Amino acid sequence: MLRFIAFILTCLGGLNWLMIGTLQYDFVAGIFGTQANVFSRIIYFIIGIASIYILIVTVFHKGRLKLFGYKKKKQEKKEEVEDF
């Protein structure tokens, strides 16, 4: 679940940068007033930490980012063994 939240935050951060590049509008700063606002800086910090987390997880899993399915696969394998 943490990976999924970090992935969503990273996507939202990427969309914000897309808006900055194309429309010259910073969505986070637009919500909280300015980029220097404390709340804007907190949001930027959280998105940055989420991006670093996603990068580390992807590197440790050799380029694969699995958001869901780790526990389900183990349970499915146990069920297949029990069926035989």
Burial 18-56 (b: 16+ CB within 10 A, else e): eeeeeeeebbbbeebeeeeeeebeebbeebeebbebbee
Count of residues for the chain? 84
Tell me how far apart the alpha carbons of residues 22 and 28 are, in angstroms, rounded to a whole number. 15
Check pLDDT > 80 for residue 75. Answer: no
Question: Could you report the per-residue pLDDT of 18-56, keeping only the tens digit for each?
Answer: 999 999 999 889 988 888 889 999 999 999 999 999 988
Domain boundaries, the chain: 2-83
The amino acid occupying position 11 is C
61: DSSP letter: T
Q: Report the pLDDT value the prediction gives residue 14, as an integer from 0 to 100.
A: 93
